[in-house]
Amino acid sequence: MPDAPSLRLEADECVTMSPTSDRFKGAYQQSQPRRAEEVRGLLGLSEAATKALQEGMCCPGPTTPAFVPRAEDLDSPDAATRNAARRAAYNGLQAYVHSTTPGAFDYLKPALDRYIDISKSVINWITLSDIEVANGATLTITANTHLVFASKVIIHGSGRIVCQGATTFKITSLEGVRPIPPVVLGSAVASALRQ
């Protein structure tokens, strides 16, 4: 990321990172995935993070869903069947993307791929060299930012990063002075260290 810009927030500064903001839109890229493997490739865990989770160094990963949607039910004329299948496919996709055992989801892939085709989802990501949040500063990352690539993320004192949605961080290092990571989660955040 030698050509990527760095972001430094001064003490007590509040900044919102969004693909629509004039300040950041030049650093964003988009992808419209066609298959579940593409989503996992962008938002899923790195090999190092997967290995750490498999070795029990962190919390257990997501499990396979109880309800298995059929690909054809995603287009069902019956609204209840269609909605249940799409909810199940969405939940299954989230579990697959963040799983340490993606092979356990092979039986779901036809439904997941069909769901991706129907939803026409777009993944927005930003690439920065370093992110540094000073004491008292707040970096808010909007829900339409799905992925942040950066070398180092440094958070000083009471500085914080607030994610308004599910955001994956692919970073080399996270530094801070508090024992609890100062990242506020909007829903689910997968942090993956890139080796």
Arithmetic mean of pLDDT over the chain: 85
Does residue 34 register a pLDDT over 60? yes
Does residue 184 register a pLDDT over 80? no
pLDDT of residue 17: 97
Does residue 187 register a pLDDT over 70? no
138-150 residue pLDDT tens: 999 999 999 999 9
The confidence band for 130, taking pLDDT boundaries of 50, 70 and 90, is very high
Gap between the Cα atoms of 56 and 32, Å rounded: 33
Q: How much is the average pLDDT of 1-18? A: 90
Gap between the Cα atoms of 190 and 188, Å rounded: 7
Q: How much is the average pLDDT of 135-162? A: 95
Does residue 111 register a pLDDT over 90? yes
15: phi then psi, degrees, rounded to nearest 5: -130, 140
Structural tokens at position 30 = 């988009």
Percent residues over pLDDT 90 in the chain: 62
Helix (H) or strand (E) holding 39: helix 36-43
Q: State pTM to two decimals.
A: 0.77
Residue 107, CA atoms < 13 Å, CB-side half-sphere: 8
